[in-house]
Chains A and B, each alone.
Chain A
């Protein structure tokens, strides 16, 4: 694995950061990553990140939850131990469906929410006992860090970053 140099530019304001991102991208530099203490609205679009596919997975998880609910209630209440629901002993899933709607709804939401959170963690490479990738602890407090790989003209890049409102610029070796 080769070691490469990256510049860590530190900002103290999200609005300054946003305009800096736009400037850096306009000068055709590639932004590797940005670490922020809180989600900055519109940052993903400004960075040119591909849209998230988390919503699609959430929809699929919801469908799985719905299927689980239907299968489960059908087995419990209709097949395994047929129940007389609301004085209407029809023993048919579809005729007793209104009674199962709350469960179908809840499990849809439950599966969508929990599996989406798990997916988000895994996709963000976060799992138990994982060491933080965060290069500077101040980004968990009140600083914003922009990471840009250096390829040759670091002078130009540094000047650009100072101009864009960075309060601190560090050139660091990054082991891959």
Chain B
């Protein structure tokens, strides 16, 4: 049995406290008066020598679907700079919301990716991985709280907040935007919440029963729990691939309600899958270094690292497929998505391709490197940072535009949810033995040799 060391517990609580303070500070600091914003803009204009030209401003407001400019013949005058300042003011107040949402989603998706990986291992009756099942079950414990937090933040941004993440929640925007108005049968707060709750309920139910059967199998005489677990894993995977796809449209793609991509669900899936697998590797290496998993050896690590390598390439394939078709056809309403990313997010957008593709490709290509735990940890940390930036790039351009920065709100949000994640996961790990004793493939997994 694993005991949650006091040191790690204190570390996670410290992360939560420091993160919470930073998040509160971010929210308090985000309400700027219009005059403050104007002063700031004037200051910036002086610095940059010109700053924002009209084209920039227009593309920014188009992404938001805020039709403050259309229809009104506006002279470039006092009125114009007022509208611009209001726009920037709104972006500034969006930032702590978005930062919190990105971090919450990122840690939720780790747990969801690990759950999908776990279900695949069971449904495919994999022989190498059962020694890692309890690690995976520990990680998926974060799914229920994590997903409820994500949905909670989304709903709060449209009720408590001022439509800070999803502009389609703002009735004023919908009234003036025909495209969003046409989608309002689907994109409305009630139906959004119900869908979210259905997905979370489905995932949490599978996780609950898979865990229950897994623990029951430890002491069972026959394989009936294993068989039940196999059946619900197959059913869950069918539910998962639909619900994950719709979830990614709802929770991420709808921040740009004018834009859509048909492979978005797959793309988000690749990101969550590789993040989940990477965290499985990191937690395994941590527990092994604390002398817990003595039945896990470098052969198991090798296989997990192979998945990190393969799914990193799979992620790139989907990222590029989405990009290339839109780049090639160059249709204005589609390409604006990438224009805003290339104009304002060049470093994170291209940087993540280096972190999520080129780095793991070159580092994890060699078989020997995949068997060295410190090496896998190092690559894993880069991959996780890369996929945080991936989610950052999905949300931020729509909510804060060019007003992005990785500063206190972003780092504090990551710390807050990292602390919560560590606390929930390692608490769950103490609840059951770390080896699935009665699992039929346990022996095969222990003797696994690549």
Contact = CB atoms under 8 A, between A and B. Distances in A.
Interface of A: 42, 55, 59, 85-88, 98-99, 101-102
Nearest to B326: A98
Contact of A86 (B327, B366, B367, B449): B327
| Most chain A CB inside 10 Å of its own CB: which residue of B328, B365, B367 | B328
Interface in B356-387: 365-367
A87 B185 CA distance: 36
A88 B330 contact: yes
B365 A59 contact: yes
The 3 A-B pairs with the shortest beta carbon distances in the complex, nearest first, are A86-B328, A98-B324, A98-B327
Contact of B320 (A59, A87, A88, A101): A101
B78 to A, nearest CB: 38
Nearest to A85: B328
B424 to A, nearest CB: 40
B328 A98 contact: yes
A143 to B, nearest CB: 25
B330 A86 contact: yes
Interface in B118-139: none
A42 B449 contact: yes
A55 B369 CA distance: 14
A87 B329 CA distance: 8
B343 to A, nearest CB: 15
Contacts of A59: 365
Contacts of A85: 328
Contacts of B330: 86-88
Nearest to B327: A98
B365 A86 contact: no
B239 interface: no
Given A42-B449, A59-B365, A86 B320 contact: no
Contacts of A99: 324, 328
B346 to A, nearest CB: 14
8 contacts: A42-B449, A55-B366, A86-B330, A88-B330, A98-B324, A98-B327, A99-B324, A102-B324
Contacts of A101: 320, 324
A43 B334 CA distance: 55
Contacts of B449: 42
Interface in B295-344: 320, 323-324, 327-330
Nearest to B329: A86
A86 B330 CA distance: 7
A55 B329 CA distance: 38
A101 B323 CA distance: 12
Contacts of A55: 366-367
| Most chain B CB inside 10 Å of its own CB: which residue of A85, A98, A102 | A98
